Structure 1
Amino acid sequence: MLADCGHVVVVDDDPSLRRMVIKYLEENNVPTKSASSRTEFNRLFAGPPPSLIILDLRLGQDDGLDLLREIRSHSDVPVIITTGHRPDEIDRIVGLELGADDYVVKPFSLRELLARVRAVLRRQEMGRVARTRDPERGGYRFGGWQLERRGRRLLDTNATPVALSKGEYALLLAFLEAPQRPLSREHLLQATRIHEDIFDRSIDVQVLRLRRKLETDPSAPRVIQTERGIGYVFALSVEPF
């Protein structure tokens, strides 16, 4: 499956789980390497880049979220995070906010993991083909702000760049493509490509983060307003360019 585009890296401090995942993925034609710690992973990452990373957020003495931050600071490689049950729910939210592409909850089905790996790689390839055929261009102006699609750059009213995470950019783009229309949480979840079975409160976290960057007073939002019982609406008029 990945013969032409690299390999998957499994980062987990449980040796039996690593062996089980590697065996299953390789039996299904997915070349796989593994690491048990941040140090081992960094050594691997210094070589040929992986096509996808399966990252456990509980890495013994290492913090998987810190490693995810480090990965996202210099790479867009797809990441599937693995976590425990409900006590780790906040970790899943933070992981998705930091740029993870999907998650699975332990103990997980190997068939489900393989399906998610294939789905994430398919989305990655579709995105790459779409960018090749139709590079992002133009952008949107709203309330003195400007979002440039090329480079994914947001400029405030003083033309100062404002950093956006991958999730924040996708969410803002969803709003700008449908201004002054109520958008459901489900619609926004799909637009930000979070897996459909995550509980919908996660979109509230993303909206809060985006409000902190766009609003003069996030506690009294005028740009992204709540539509009770529906979701959210981008209240400003938007001008494409």
Structure 2
Amino acid sequence: MESRGLVLVVEDDPAIAELVTLYLRRDGFGVQVETDGQAALAAARRVKPVAVVLDIGLPGMDGIEVCRAMRKDGDWTPVLFVTARDDEVDRVLGLELGADDYVTKPFSPRELVARVRTVLRRANGPGAGEVLSAGGTRLDLGERRVWTDAGEVALTSTEFDLLAHLMRRPGQVFDRAQLLSAVWGYAAAAGTRTVDVHIAQLRAKLGAQCPIRTVRSVGYSVERQ
């Protein structure tokens, strides 16, 4: 089987790390495991993984600090957080971090692998060579880059695909379940709060030129030009 690339797994529980490694390798990924935050950050800088599966509850430097340091370095490698508490979801997907997705313990290793495949498909998918424009925001589908009048804006692969999905269909209103299915690739049962958090991230990054509007009691849309 052709390798899908190296995934950095950061987990201090040996049993969980072993299980995640087993399933990722079965799916064709190479795996490097680190058990603490400092070693994880050094590994991310050294081996340049295609994705990082990052536990929050690490000894010393926790997963949130690791992700923050990566983003500060300008490293936008897709990050999938593993969290033990559902009430941490807003925090791990928070504006200053830019995580791409998360799973909550206990989780299915098959689901985790599927989530890794999804974030990589979004990050590495073929570009259409088309440039979209709305509300002062320009989005290049081929190069996967975004600009406002203030300059280029760094987005995660998930943020980019959410914005692109809305901008491709100006005037159409999507509810949260539709966006979760179209962009994240899984059912609304997984929790639609993820959508709201990513919309908030986009608005914070794009500022006044963010073209996304809230349609009360329904969902989100980008207005026609």
Q: TM-score, normalised by structure 1?
A: 0.71
How far apart in 1 are the matches of 2:41 and 2:13?
A: 18
Aligned positions of 1:49-198 closer than 5 A: 49-72=48-71, 73-94=73-94, 98-100=98-100, 102-108=101-107, 112-118=108-114, 120-121=116-117, 124=120, 128=124, 130-131=125-126, 135-156=127-148, 159-166=149-156, 167-193=158-184, 195-196=186-187, 197-198=189-190
Q: What is the aligned partner in structure 1 of residue 35 from structure 2? A: 36
Q: What is the aligned partner in structure 1 of residue 213 from structure 2? A: 225
Identity in percent: 24
How far apart in 2 are the matches of 1:122 and 1:154?
A: 21
Segments of 5+ residues of structure 1 without an aligned counterpart are: none
Q: Which moves more between the two structures, 192-201 or 117-126?
A: 117-126
- Letter paired with 2:170: P
**Quick check: 1:57–1:91 contact (8 Å CA) kept in 2?**
no
How far apart in 2 are the matches of 1:118 and 1:96?
A: 25
Q: Compared with structure 1, are the counterparts of its residues 63 and 194 closer, same or farther at alpha carbon in structure 2 (3 Å cutoff)?
A: farther
CA RMSD of aligned residues (A): 3.5
How far apart in 1 are the matches of 2:145 and 2:173?
A: 25
- Letter paired with 1:215: A
The structure with the larger Rg is 1
- Letter paired with 2:139: L
Q: Deviations over 1:87-135 (max 9, x none)?
A: 32333433996133x3222233xxx21343155336635864x52xxx3
Matched, 1:208 2:208: no
Q: TM-score, normalised by structure 2?
A: 0.75
**Quick check: 2:92–2:99 contact (8 Å CA) kept in 1?**
no
- Letter paired with 1:153: R
